[in-house]
Amino acid sequence: MKALFLPEASDYIGGSPNESLSLCKPASQSPFLQGLQQEAKKHHLPISVGVHEPSDNPTSKRIKNTLLWINANGEITHRYQKLHLFDLEMENGPNMRESTTIEPGDEILPPFDSPVGKLGAMICFDLRFPEIALALKRQKADVLLYPSAFMPTTGKAHWLPLLRARAIECTSYVIAAAQVGAHNEKRSSYGHSIVIDPWGEVVAELGGEKTDEPEVVFADIDFEKLRSVRRALPLKRRTDVYPEV
């Protein structure tokens, strides 16, 4: 059993809010998505991919940042909209306001079945908020997804520690497919796509340098290890003392 996991904003990363808006297309009209759906069906290969989609509000000047699941028949069967938006203001830069262009989602979706276990969908900046991951773990997620386009500045300091923390505290696999290198004059991404097991160990990882050819990393989801870690560390929450997430 297999599946392909692609990064956040795999369709494009715009150089300005206007460019991001102008490039955005509905799934039914996106050549990029239609191509992925055809390939998923052709190779009987489910694909997780982050894209941009128009707002449901026709007068909105913002768009959606979504994570789609394309099943082995080429059908879009799951759509998660990013909850937390990346607004960064640092002395001497870099500065970024994702909320200028992106419309936040308003719900945590239940984990869904896949050939590689029950998947819990999140996107990039959601990584900094463990409540979502804990809620998905409570709903029996086996694998937490964090497709991302982390900035190099924050990536160097926070990427690996945050991903390992989510894997360890949820005793779950983490798959984080990440954008890498320069996209335009204003924007570049940290890279380091990674798979982490429920013990917090790195199973597979790519680098942080953009190469001439696309790179892919392969990893196995070991369900026996998942069960073993959860048996050894049941992590029984004290919901008599604090609220359930």
* Annotation marks residue 124 as catalytic: yes
Catalytic residue among 8, 53, 98, 103: 8
* Annotation marks residue 82 as catalytic: yes
Of 198, 163, 197, nearest to 177 (Cα)?
A: 163
Of 132, 154, 133, nearest to 142 (Cα)?
A: 133
Catalytic residue among 25, 82, 98, 137: 82
CB contact set of 46 (below 8 Å; sequence gap of 6+)? 2, 3, 4, 40, 69, 70, 71, 72, 114, 115
Question: How many residues are present in the chain?
Answer: 245
* Annotation marks residue 213 as catalytic: no
Catalytic residue among 25, 53, 124, 170: 124
Report DSSP state, residue 102: B
The two three-digit tokens of residue 156, written as one number? 């160097």
Catalytic residue annotation: 8, 82, 124
